Structure 1
Amino acid sequence: MKFLKTTVWALLICLSFQSFAINAEDKKQANPREIWTKEQANQWYSQQGWLVGADFLPSTAINQLEMFQAADFDTVTINRELGWASKIGMNTMRVYLHDLLFQEDSAGFVKRLDTFLNIAQKHKIKPLFVLFDSCWDPFPKLGKQRAPKPGVHNSGWVQSPGLEALKDSTQYARLERYVKGTVAAFANDSRVLAWDIWNEPDNPNTSSYGKVELPNKVDYVIPLLSKAFVWARSVNPSQPLTAGVWNGNWETHETLTPIEKVMIDQSDIITFHNYEDAADFEKRIKQLQQYGRPMICTEYMSRGNGSFFKGSLPIAKKYNVGAINWGLVDGKSQTIYPWDSWKKTYTAEPELWFHDIFRKDGTPYKKDEVELIKKLTSAK
C-alpha cells in the first residue's frame, strides 16, 4: 500500500509538472516578444563581431530539399566545405530550409538541423536560417531531385512554399506549424545567428519561371509574410528576425513598396541584397542607415554584374555591415554561370565565374579574392 501511495504521488507530481509546462508554453505563445528596439538590436549586434559568410549549399546538393532530406544529407561534404569557409575567416552562413521537409518528417528534419549546427559550430560558424523563398521553381516536390540542366544557373532550386500551397489558404495551418516548430526547436540556441523569414518574397522570376508564376503573387505573399513574422515571434526566439529588401527605391520609408514596408517594419535587424558595383553598394547602405539598426547584406558578389569582393567587402567593413555573398563552392547549383544562362546557352565553364569562391577540390577560383577575404577578416 505504501508503494502504491508513493507511486500515485509520483504520478500526480509528474502530471502537475506537465500541466505547468503546457500552461507555461501556452502563456509564452500568448505573449510573444515584441519587435526589438533599436537599442536591443544594436546590443545584440555588438556581441557578434563582424559577420562575413556565404549563402551555403553543399556542392552535392541542387537545392534546399536535397541538402536536408534524409537520403541526401551529406555531412561529409558539409563538414569539408564549411572547413574551407572557416579557414578564410568566415563566421556565418545563410542556409535555406523548406516547409516540405518539416511536413514529411518534422522530428527527423529538426534532428538533421541539429547535426548541421554541430558541424557549423565546430568551424565557429553561426548560420542564419531562411524559412521561405520566392525564387526559381514554384513546383517543389520531395524525393529524388532532378539532375542539373547543363550550364544553367540554379536550374533545380525550388520555392517555399510552392505555388499550390501559396494560393491555398487551407495549407497555412501546415505552414504555421513549420515556422513555429522549426524556430521553437532552436529559439534559445546560441548556435543560430538569426532567422530570415522570407527571401525576395516579391520576386516574379520573370527570366526563368515567369510564364507559370501566379500573376498576382504578391497579393498572396504579403499577408502570409506578415503571418510568418507573427508565427516566428510567437515562440519568443532569442535570435533576431528579418527579411531582406532587394530591389526598389529605399531613399525614404515612403518610397518603399507595401511589401518592403512589411519587411522593414517587422525586422529586428535590417538585411538587404546588392549585386551592383561598389558605389551602389555604399549608396544602399547609406539609405538604410535611416533605420538605426544593425545591417547585414545577405546577398552580394556577382562578378559578371560588376559586384566583386574587392569592391563591396571593404565598404561593408568600413560601415560595420555584415557581408554574406552568394555561393561558396561550385557544385550542382551551377551558380558559376550567370543569370542569363536561362536564355543563353553555355557549353563550357565561363571564364568569369558569376558566383562562388572554391572549386570542388577546395582550390580558390581566384587566389587574390581569398587573400582579400582572409586579410579583411584577419584569418591566420
Structure 2
Amino acid sequence: MVNTNKIIFKSILLLSYLIITAVLLFLISSLYSYFNTGADRSKILHTKIKKIDQYLPKVTWLEDGNLGREMNAQTLSEIESNYLDAWYIKNIAFSTNSKIGVDAYYTESARKNIFNIIQANKKEKITIERTTLSHNPDIFLFSEDGQLVVLEDKNVVEYKRVFKDNKFILEITEIANYKVILLLEDGFWRIRHLVKESVSEFNKKTKASPPISKTIKGINYYPQATPWNMFGSDFDIKIILKDFNLIKTANLNTIRIFVPYKDFGKAKVSESKLNKLRKVLDAAEKNDLKVIITLFDFYGNYEVLDWTLNHRHVEVIVTAFKNHNALLAWDVKNEPNLDFDSRGRQNVISWLEQIILLIKSIDKKHAVTIGWSNISSASILKDKVDLVSFHYYEDKDAFEERYTDLKEIIKDKPLVLGEFGTTSYRGFWKPFGSSEEKQARYYKEMQAVFAKNKIPFISWTLYDFNKIPKEVVGELPWRRNAQEHYGFINKNGEKKKSFKYISKH
C-alpha cells in the first residue's frame, strides 16, 4: 500500500512538472512571436490609462504651424493622448500619495519633482484632489528626428481640493499657463519638463439669464407605462403627444422631465437618446408647453476625477437643445442634498457649482436651477442659480409660513415649488392611509395657497404607476405602494377626484 502511494505521488509530481514546463514554453514562444511580428515592445510594458473612459478635459489645439518637422494628425493625436494621460496619473498620484504609474508618463528627471511633492504631502498628511477641466495647447517645436516636442498650454483650468488629516481645508479653481517638453521614449510621449509660468484665480461670476416671463404651472412627467425609463426601448412619442395634450387642456403650461446620466451614455452621449429627447421637446412645443430638463438622474458620484466625464455629458446635451423653443430651464440635479451624508456636503456643492458654470458658459439664454429636496436646503448656491427650486412633502398646513420665511431670505430670485403632492394609497401596508378624497382636499388647499401668494408650482405627478424601481424608493412595500398612487390619474386611466385641482382654473 505504501509503495502504491509513493508511485501515485511521484506520478503526480512528474505530471505537474510536465504541465508547468509546457505552459512556460508556450508563454516564451508567444512572447517571441509577439516581438517578431511587428509588435511594439514598449506596449507590453507600458501601463496604459483608459483615458476615453476616465479623463476627458476639453482640449482646443492652436494649430498655426510649428518650427521643425511637420506635424501630422496621427502624431498630434498620440501626443494629446499621452499628455492627458500624464495629467491624469499625476492627479491620481497627488490624491493617493502613491508613485504608481508615474514613471510611465514622466521621464526620470520630471518625476523627481512629483515624488518630492508626494513625500512632503505624506509627511504633512496632506492629500490633494484635483483635475483639469480644459487645455489649450500650442506646439512651438517638433524636432526633425521626431523625438521631441515643445509646447505651451495656455489657460488651463485647474480645480484643487486640499485635505489635511482627511479633513477638508480649502478648494480653489485656477487658470494657469504651462511650458512643456515631451520626449518620445519606447513609443510613448513622456513629459520631460512641465513648468507653470503663470497662475490666476478663475472667475466664477456669471451673468443672470433673462427672467421667465410667465408663472409656472406645471407637472413632473413620466409616461404611465415607463416611469423612470422614459427614453428606453418602449419609448412611444404618440403616447407622449397625447399626454401633453391632456396636460395643456388641464390649464398647465410646463413639464419637468429627467435625463438619466448612465442611460444617455455618460460622457459619450447616445445620438438615439438625443433624438428621443428632441422628439419630446418638439411634442411639448406643439402643445405650447415649456420644458424644464433635469440632468444627472440616477447619478451620485461627484468625485473630482469624474468631473471631465460629467462635463462632456453636459456639453453635448446643452449644446444640442439650448436653442429649442420649448426649453424653459436646466435643472442641474434632482435632490442632490440627499447625497450629503453619503458623498459629503462639500463634494456635492462643489460639483453643482462647476456644472452650473459650465451650463451657463454654453447657454446664456435659459435659467439654471437645482431641485433641492426640501425648503431647508433651498438657499444653498442661491447666488449661482437663476431660479430657486425646492420640493415640499411635509405638513401642508405649515407650507405657507415656511414659504414666506424663505422669501424673506431670498428676495432677489424667483422661487419655484418644483415638486409637491400626496398619495391616495390605502391598503394592506397602510390600512389607515390616505384616500382619493383626502388627496383631492390636499390639492384644493394647496392651490388656494398658490393663488393667494402667486406661487409657481410643479406637482408630482400625472399618473399612478404599476411599478416603481427599487432605486427610487427602495424595497419597503409600504413606501413603494404609497409612491405608486401619487398621480391625478389612476392605474386604469381614470381621472381621480384630485384632477379637478391639478391647476387653479
Q: Give the TM interval when normalised to the shorter protein.
A: 0.5 to 0.7
Letter in 1 for 2:323: N
Displacement of 1:202: 1.9
Residue 491 of structure 2 corresponds to residue 371 of structure 1: no
Secondary structure at 1:93 match in 2 = strand
Residues 295 and 72 from structure 1, CA distance in 2 versus in 1: closer, same or farther, beyond 3 angstroms? same
Within 5 A, what are the aligned runs for 1:220-299?
220-247=347-374, 249=376, 261-290=379-408, 291-292=410-411, 293-299=413-419
Structure 1 counterpart of 2:289, one-letter code: I
Q: Do structure 1's residue 79 and structure 2's residue 241 form an aligned pair?
A: yes
Would the alpha carbon gap of residues 131 and 370 (structure 1) be closer, same or farther in structure 2, given more than 3 Å must change? Answer: same
Per-residue CA deviation, residues 68-120 of structure 1 (Å, 9 max, x unaligned), is: 13x23221221222222222111111101022204354332222211111111
Choose from 261, 279, 282 the match for 1:99: 261
How has the CA–CA distance of structure 1 residues 118 and 86 changed in structure 2, closer, same or farther, with 3 Å as cutoff?
Answer: same
Describe the SS at the equivalent of 1:202.
helix
Change in 2 beyond 3 A, CA 1:80/1:331: farther
Note if contact 2:217-2:252 (Cα within 8 Å) is conserved in structure 1: yes
Which residue does the alignment assign to 1:147?
Answer: none
- Structure number with the higher helix fraction is 1
Residue 175 of structure 1: SS of its match in structure 2?
helix
Query: How far apart, in 2, do the equivalents of 1:182 and 1:83 lie?
Result: 25
How far apart, in 2, do the equivalents of 1:98 and 1:217 lie?
A: 22
Residue 333 of structure 1, CA deviation: 4.7
Matching of residues 128-167 of structure 1 within 5 Å: 128-133=292-297, 159-161=298-300, 166=301
Inter-partner Cα distance in structure 2 for 1:183 and 1:340 = 31
CA gap 1:74/1:85 in 2 versus in 1, 3 angstroms: same
Offset from partner CA, 1:140-163 (integer Å, 9 cap, x none): xxxxxxxxxxxxxxxxxxx124xx
Change (3 A) 1:225 1:343: same
2:315 to 159, 175, 180: 180
Report if aligned partners of 2:206, 2:384 keep a CA contact under 8 Å in 1. Answer: no
Equivalent residues of 2:488, 2:502 under 8 A apart: no
Structure number with larger C-alpha Rg: 2
**Shift in CA distance, 93/333, structure 1 to aligned 2, threshold 3 Å:** farther
| 1:108 maps to amino acid | S
The two structures have a TM-score, normalised by structure 1, of 0.66
Contact 1:226 1:262 in 2 (8 A): no
Distance change in 2, residues 1:215/1:361 (3 Å): closer
Pick aligned residue for 1:300 from 402, 409, 420? 420
Q: Which among 488, 495, 501 is matched to residue 357 of structure 1?
A: 488
Specify the alignment match of 1:331 in structure 2.
Answer: 465
> How many Å apart are 1:222 and its aligned residue?
2.1
Residue 279 of structure 2 is aligned with which of 100, 115, 120? 115
Q: Is the 8 A contact 1:202 1:217 kept in 2?
A: no
Structure 2: runs of 5 or more not aligned = 1-156, 158-201, 425-433
- For residues 271-324 of structure 1, what are the alpha-carbon distances to aligned partners after superposition, in whole Å with 9 as ceiling and x for unaligned? 111113433221232122132222210100114688721121221222222111
* 1:42-81 → structure 2 map (5 Å cutoff): 44-45=211-212, 47-48=213-214, 50-63=215-228, 66-69=229-232, 71-81=233-243
Is the partner of 1:215 in helix, strand or coil? helix
Q: CA deviation at 1:188?
A: 2.8
Amino acid at match of 2:219: A
Q: Is residue 261 of structure 2 the alignment partner of residue 89 of structure 1?
A: no
Q: Cα deviation per residue 1:213-270 (whole Å; 9 max; x = unaligned)?
A: 9834434322211111111111033110011333364xxxxxx6xxx55432221111
Distance 2:494 2:315 in 1: 40
Q: Which has the higher contact order (CA 8 A, sep 6+)?
A: 1
Distance 1:303 1:89, change over 3 A: same
Q: Deviations for 1:107-139, whole angstroms, at most 9, x for unmatched residues?
A: 322222111111112222111110124xxxxxx
Secondary structure of the 1:289 match is helix
State the alpha-carbon separation in 1 of the partners of residues 455 and 479 from structure 2.
Answer: 36
Aligned partner of residue 371 in structure 2, secondary structure? coil
Distance (Å, rounded) in 1 between the aligned partners of 2:303 and 2:361: 23
Q: How many residues in Structure 1 have an aligned counterpart in Structure 2?
A: 287
| 1:196 and 2:331 aligned | yes
Runs of 4+ more than 6 Å apart:
29-33, 304-307, 338-341
| Kept after mapping to 2: 8 A contact 1:121/1:191 | yes
SS at match of 1:344: helix
Could you tell me the percent identity over the aligned residues?
22
The one-letter code sitting in structure 2 at the alignment partner of 1:364 is K
Aligned pairs for 1:25-40 (under 5 A) are: 34-36=206-208
Residue of structure 2 in register with 1:144 after alignment: none
Q: Is the 8 A contact 2:465 2:484 kept in 1?
A: no
Q: Aligned equivalents of 2:422 and 2:299: distance in 1?
A: 24
Distance 1:332 1:225 in 2: 33
Structure 1 residue runs of 5 or longer lacking an equivalent are: 1-28, 134-158, 205-212, 250-255
**Structure 1 or 2: larger strand share?**
2
User: Which residue of structure 2 aligns with residue 146 of structure 1?
Assistant: none
- SS state of the match for residue 117, structure 1? helix
- SS of 1:68's equivalent in the other structure is coil
Indicate how the Cα distance of structure 1 residues 333 and 240 shifts in structure 2: closer, same or farther if over 3 A, else same. Answer: farther
| Structure 2 match to 1:150 | none
